Structure 1
Amino acid sequence: MRKLTEAEQDKIKVLTKHQVPFTLIEPTGTGLRKAIMDATGPVRSFLESKNIHEYGLQEQGPKNKVLFPAVIHEGSRVVRSKASLYRPVTKNGDPRIWFYGLSNFAAPNDIVAITYFDDSFQIFNLTQLDIEGLVGSAIRNPLQELILEINTVENEVAFELLAMLRRVASSGPIPSVVDADTSVGRTLETALGIDINSSKKPDYKGIELKSFRNNRTNRKNLFAQVPDWTLSKFKSSEEILDTFGYERGDDFKLYCTVSAINRNSQGLSLRLDNDISQLIENSHDPAIGDFVIWTLDKLHDRLMEKHKETFWIEAESSTIGGTEHFLYKLVEHTKKPITSQFDLLVDQGIITLDHLIKRNSKGKVVEKGPLFKIKPKGIGLLFPPSETYALI
Structure 2
Amino acid sequence: MRPLTSDEEAKLKALTENSVSLTLIEPTETGLKKSIMDATGPVRSYLKSNGFHDYSLQLQGPDYKVVIDAVLYDDHAIKKSRTSLYRPKTKKGDPRIWFTGLTKYANPNDILALVCFDGKIHVLNLTQLPVRALINSVVLNPLKELVEEINGTENAVANELLQMLKEIAKKPVPSLVDADTSVGRTLETALGIDINSSKKPDFKGIELKSFRDKRGNRKTLFAQVPDWKLSKFKSSAEILDAFGYERGDDFKLYCTVSSITTNSQGLSLRVDNDINQLLEYSDQKSIGDFVVWSLEKLHKRLLEKHRETFWVAAETLKEDGKEYFQYKEVEHTKKPIVSQFDLLLDQGVITLDHLIKRNSKNRVVEKGPLFKIKPKSLDLLFPPSLKYDLLN
TM-score by length of 1: 0.60
Q: Match of 1:339?
A: 345
C-alpha change, 1:76 and 1:234, in structure 2 (3 Å) is: closer
Gaps of 5+ in 2: 257-262, 271-278
| 1:170 pairs with one of 162, 166, 169 | 166
State how far apart, in whole Å, the 1-side matches of 2:364 and 2:269 are: 34
State how far apart, in whole Å, the 1-side matches of 2:225 and 2:193 are: 26
Residues 261-320 of structure 1 show CA distances to partners (whole Å, capped at 9, x for unaligned) of: xxxxxxxx951244997577xxxxxxxxxxx99957559999877667464311356799
Residues 229-249 of structure 1 show CA distances to partners (whole Å, capped at 9, x for unaligned) of: 964999479999xx9698xxx
C-alpha change, 1:191 and 1:76, in structure 2 (3 Å) is: farther
How far apart are residue 372 of structure 1 and its match? Answer: 5.6
Q: How is 1:259-298 mapped onto 2 (pairs within 5 angstroms)?
A: 271-274=265-268, 295=290, 297-298=292-293
Q: Match of 1:390?
A: 388
State how far apart, in whole Å, the 2-side matches of 1:302 and 1:60 are: 27
CA contact (8 A) 1:231 1:293 kept: no
State how far apart, in whole Å, the 1-side matches of 2:174 and 2:299 are: 30
State how far apart, in whole Å, the 2-side matches of 1:86 and 1:301 are: 21
Q: Name the SS of the counterpart of 1:163 in structure 2.
A: helix
Q: Match of 1:48?
A: 48
C-alpha change, 1:216 and 1:388, in structure 2 (3 Å) is: same
Q: How is 1:1-392 mapped onto 2 (pairs within 5 angstroms)?
A: 11-18=11-18, 20=20, 21-26=22-27, 37-42=35-40, 43-59=43-59, 64-79=64-79, 81=80, 83-87=82-86, 91=90, 95-99=95-99, 102=101, 106=105, 109=108, 111=110, 112-150=112-150, 152=151, 156=153, 162-171=158-167, 172-173=170-171, 178-181=176-179, 182-190=181-189, 194-200=193-199, 203=202, 208-214=207-213, 231=233, 235=237, 254=250, 258=254, 271-274=265-268, 295=290, 297-298=292-293, 309=306, 311-316=310-315, 327-332=326-331, 338-340=344-346, 354=355, 358=359, 367=365, 369=367, 379-380=375-376, 384=380, 387=385, 389-392=387-390
CA contact (8 A) 1:169 1:327 kept: no
Count residues in correspondence: 350
How far apart are residue 52 of structure 1 and its match? Answer: 1.4
Greater Rg by CA: 1
State how far apart, in whole Å, the 1-side matches of 2:103 and 2:368 are: 57
RMSD: 5.7
Higher relative contact order (CA 8 A, sep 6+): 2
CA contact (8 A) 2:85 2:95 kept: yes
CA contact (8 A) 1:58 1:64 kept: yes
CA contact (8 A) 2:246 2:252 kept: no
CA contact (8 A) 2:329 2:387 kept: yes
C-alpha change, 1:279 and 1:149, in structure 2 (3 Å) is: same
Which has the higher mean CA deviation after the structures are superposed, 138-147 or 327-336? 327-336
C-alpha change, 1:364 and 1:23, in structure 2 (3 Å) is: closer
C-alpha change, 1:380 and 1:198, in structure 2 (3 Å) is: same
Residues 368-390 of structure 1 show CA distances to partners (whole Å, capped at 9, x for unaligned) of: 6367698x9x6347985884612
How far apart are residue 329 of structure 1 and its match? Answer: 1.9
How far apart are residue 31 of structure 1 and its match? Answer: 5.9
C-alpha change, 1:199 and 1:87, in structure 2 (3 Å) is: same
Identity %: 32
Q: Name the SS of the counterpart of 1:68 in structure 2.
A: strand
How far apart are residue 85 of structure 1 and its match? Answer: 2.9
State how far apart, in whole Å, the 1-side matches of 2:23 and 2:113 are: 6
CA contact (8 A) 2:31 2:37 kept: no
State how far apart, in whole Å, the 1-side matches of 2:138 and 2:118 are: 24
How far apart are residue 53 of structure 1 and its match? Answer: 0.6
Residues 312-338 of structure 1 show CA distances to partners (whole Å, capped at 9, x for unaligned) of: 311356799x99875532124576663
Q: Name the SS of the counterpart of 1:271 in structure 2.
A: coil
How far apart are residue 115 of structure 1 and its match? Answer: 1.3
C-alpha change, 1:369 and 1:294, in structure 2 (3 Å) is: farther
State how far apart, in whole Å, the 2-side matches of 1:30 and 1:369 are: 46
State how far apart, in whole Å, the 1-side matches of 2:381 and 2:70 are: 31
